[in-house]
Amino acid sequence: DTAVSQTPKYLVTQMGNDKSIKCEQNLGHDTMYWYKQDSKKFLKIMFSYNNKELIINETVPNRFSPKSPDKAHLNLHINSLELGDSAVYFCASSSGLAGGNYEQYFGPGTRLTVT
């Protein structure tokens, strides 16, 4: 069974469109994250949720809106897509808040290409 899954794996869309990426974890973890990895492979935290509560909201444009309907799911909705949003988006989860010795398990990633 896949521990952290994301859909879709690939997403190609045009500028100005709105799109969503879904993430689910079956590890029973309390904390979930969204990361963005740009073309230079730099992995940067965007959001983190703990028990459905927003913990981290980095300096991300408000076109990005996360939603956590329950502890096992964390979705990412992006409005008015821009060329600079092209990247690989990773979902991750951990049993405790980052800051402790908690391994983060990453999903397979969603490669978003905005044309």
Partner 1 sequence: QKEVEQNSGPLSVPEGAIASLNCTYSDRGSQSFFWYRQYSGKSPELIMFIYSNGDKEDGRFTAQLNKASQYVSLLIRDSQPSDSATYLCAVTGDYKLSFGAGTTVTVRA
Query: Binding residues for partner 1, per CB under 8 A?
Result: 40-45, 48, 55-56, 58, 90, 97-101, 103-104, 106-109
| Residue 42 beta carbon to partner 1: minimum distance, rounded to whole angstroms | 5
- For partner 1, the closer of residues 19 and 106 by Cβ is 106
CA–CA dist 74, 25 (Å, integer): 9
| Residue 55 beta carbon to partner 1: minimum distance, rounded to whole angstroms | 6
| Residue 43 beta carbon to partner 1: minimum distance, rounded to whole angstroms | 4
- For partner 1, the closer of residues 61 and 96 by Cβ is 96
- For partner 1, the closer of residues 16 and 42 by Cβ is 42
